[in-house]
């Protein structure tokens, strides 16, 4: 019982740490027009400057020697199924060792995604499918892949090369199948159901809309996490120039209430399967 309670406390506390775009060998890049967006460091966090209508892509960089699963949220919504983000049970994207994966938008299928575009808060996907409480934050939960030691031989190997031959055979044999860089580690999803829309509050600044359909090929592959909780949570907060000024990044002033909302937005607020359901009125 004590151990279970301790684990629950860790789960609750972990995502509340400062949101930064890198941790150890992992990094998040927000790309606009193929180039990294302008970012600012403020109070230990990373802030991205966006502009209304701009399309952006998320790139997860893995500089470790193990594959990782990256569970991604935008505005508190999971980018695969579009529902409230929860890194404990949601599917993620596979990022190869010493590689990267680009995430184009809200996933529509294994072939398409709805582009990420900066929008007014009431036009954001979060506002149209639930509420905009967590708008303005991108989160990536990183899980390394579980590895297993090689099986021991049934009989002792002779000292004069048997063990070495066995080792060389394992090293030179066919490698395990490698996933595409941005293939989500998931089992086939069920049919998603769209949440009932609610009236979005009138808030200034930027959110992320459910943009036009773009080609985005991925594959479903098996993946076993090495840890029960993320090894790292990285990410960034974003807003337009006026919003960053209000946060005190350039000058003091502006809407303090909005600043507090954005500073406390949680990238993984909570849980189901499926792909992202388009908001009402969306056209391909």
What's the domain count of the chain? 1
Instruction: Answer whether residue 278 is part of any domain.
Output: no
User: Per the structure block, which two tokens stand in for 24?
Assistant: 């150890």
- Full-model pTM: 0.69
pLDDT the model gives residue 6:
31
pLDDT the model gives residue 257:
58
Instruction: Answer whether residue 3 is part of any domain.
Output: no
Instruction: Answer whether residue 143 is part of any domain.
Output: yes
pLDDT (tens digit per residue) in 78-99:
999 899 888 888 889 999 999 9
- Nearest by Cα to 142 from 185, 177, 171: 185
Instruction: Calculate what percentage of the chain has a pLDDT beyond 70.
Output: 71
Instruction: Answer whether residue 162 is part of any domain.
Output: yes
pLDDT the model gives residue 271:
54
- CB distance 87 to 93 below 8 Å: no
Domain span including residue 115: 14-263
pLDDT the model gives residue 100:
93
Mean pLDDT score of the chain, rounded to an integer? 76
- CB distance 118 to 54 below 8 Å: yes
In a 13 Å sphere around the CA of 100, the CA atoms on its Cβ side amount to: 12
Q: Which of 52-61, 89-98, 237-246 has the highest mean pLDDT?
A: 52-61
pLDDT (tens digit per residue) in 177-203:
343 444 444 433 443 333 444 444 477
Contacts of 169 (CB under 8 A, 6+ apart): none
Instruction: Answer whether residue 163 is part of any domain.
Output: yes
According to DSSP, residue 122 is labeled G
Instruction: Answer whether residue 4 is part of any domain.
Output: no
Instruction: Answer whether residue 2 is part of any domain.
Output: no
- CB distance 82 to 58 below 8 Å: no
Q: Is the pLDDT of residue 212 over 70?
A: yes
Can you give the C-alpha Rg of the chain in angstroms? 21
CA distance 230 to 116: 24
Instruction: Answer whether residue 254 is part of any domain.
Output: yes
Instruction: Calculate what percentage of the chain has a pLDDT beyond 90.
Output: 38
Q: Which residue has the tokens 């946060």?
A: 247
């Amino acid at each position: 019982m004590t151990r279970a309670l301790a684990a629950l406390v860790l789960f609750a506390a972990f995502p509340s740490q400062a949101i930064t775009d890198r941790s150890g060998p992992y990094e998040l890049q927000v790309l606009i027009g193929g180039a990294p967006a302008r970012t600012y460091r403020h109070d230990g966090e990373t802030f991205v400057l966006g502009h209304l209508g701009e399309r952006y892509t998320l790139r997860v960089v893995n500089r470790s020697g193990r594959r990782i699963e990256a569970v991604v949220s935008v505005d508190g919504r999971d980018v695969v199924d579009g529902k409230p983000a929860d890194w404990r049970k949601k599917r993620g994207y596979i990022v190869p060792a010493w590689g990267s994966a680009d995430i184009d938008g809200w996933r529509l299928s294994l072939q398409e995604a709805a582009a990420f575009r900066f929008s007014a808060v009431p036009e954001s996907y979060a506002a149209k499918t639930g509420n905009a409480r967590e708008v303005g934050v991108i989160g990536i939960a990183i899980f390394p892949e579980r590895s297993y030691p090689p099986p021991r031989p049934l009989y002792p190997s002779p000292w004069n090369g048997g063990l070495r031959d066995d080792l060389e055979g394992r090293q030179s044999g066919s490698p395990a199948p490698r996933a595409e860089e941005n293939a989500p580690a998931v089992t086939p999803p069920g049919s998603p159901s769209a949440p009932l829309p609610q009236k979005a509050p009138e808030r200034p600044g930027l959110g992320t809309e459910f943009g036009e359909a773009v080609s985005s090929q991925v594959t479903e592959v098996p993946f076993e996490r090495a840890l029960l909780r993320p090894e790292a949570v990285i990410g960034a907060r974003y807003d337009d120039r006026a919003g960053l000024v209000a946060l005190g990044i350039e000058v003091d002033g502006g809407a303090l209430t909005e600043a507090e909302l954005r500073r406390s937005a949680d990238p993984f607020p909570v849980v189901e399967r499926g792909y992202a359901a388009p908001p009402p009125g969306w056209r391909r």
